[in-house]
Amino acid sequence: MSDYNAPFEIHVHGEVQLRPGVDFAQLQDALKPLWQYAGARSLADGAASVYEEEPGIQFETKERMLQMCWTVHGDEDFRQSLDEMCMSLNEIAEQGAAIEVTFYDTEFDEDEADEDAESRDDFVMLFVGPTPAAIMQVQRDLLVQDVVNVMERHFDAAELSGVVAEIDKLFSERFDALVSSLDLSKRPRGTGGGRGGGNRRPRHLH
């Protein structure tokens, strides 16, 4: 399928802290589902985004940080590549992280479309981490940020401690249910209602 005929532009954005000792070869293997999908023969060959202004896929070796701001042309089958990538990143991630994926419908023209026609644009939030608890921690923190950002339009931050406590309770109950079937430790911890992170704009530039 030609890039020009692909029904979606797919943007992948996120940062993942990697474990000490992880090298480029391990990262290349973990990200193989992405660069292979793009038709590349290696991570170095496939790290560039289709948009020159985006930094693409970068590995900051000193900070051990994987940074992704990368767009590829594709179809719905890209979701399988994302699942495979997440499984691989779980093995080399030092802590939990969120990865944003936006599907832009390239075939939808708002000006020419029928009134009842809808774009197939989609937004997916993926989570990776070394343990289920680490992943759940990121999910909890993002939810708190989103809820606090919305509610601060009507309430002072100091008034929202009870709301945050209820969110922590929900995640504690979910974690306890997980522990009952798996051998896990370290509950997701409450870190308070931090600001920021609620407005997720696709195609971020560094």
Burial group, residue 55, by CB count within 10 angstroms (0-12, 13-18, 19+)? middle
DSSP labels, 168-202: HHHHHHHHHHHHTTS----PPPP-----------S
Final residue in a domain of this structure, among 128, 160, 189:
128
Final residue in a domain of this structure, among 67, 98, 128:
128
Work out the average pLDDT over 141-150.
Answer: 89
pLDDT in tens, 165-202: 888 888 887 777 776 766 555 556 664 443 333 334 44
Final residue in a domain of this structure, among 105, 128, 151:
128
* Residues 62 and 97 reside in one and the same domain: yes
Number of domain units in the chain: 2
pLDDT in tens, 68-101: 999 999 999 999 999 999 999 999 999 999 999 9
* Residues 119 and 167 reside in one and the same domain: no
pLDDT at residue 3, rounded to an integer: 58
Q: Give the containing element (helix H, strand E) for 135.
A: helix 132-151
CATH number at residue 53: 3.60.90
* Residues 112 and 167 reside in one and the same domain: no
pLDDT at residue 187, rounded to an integer: 59
Rg of the chain over Cα atoms, rounded to whole angstroms, equals: 19
Work out the average pLDDT over 11-38.
Answer: 97
pLDDT band at 45 (very low <50, low <70, confident <90, very high): very high
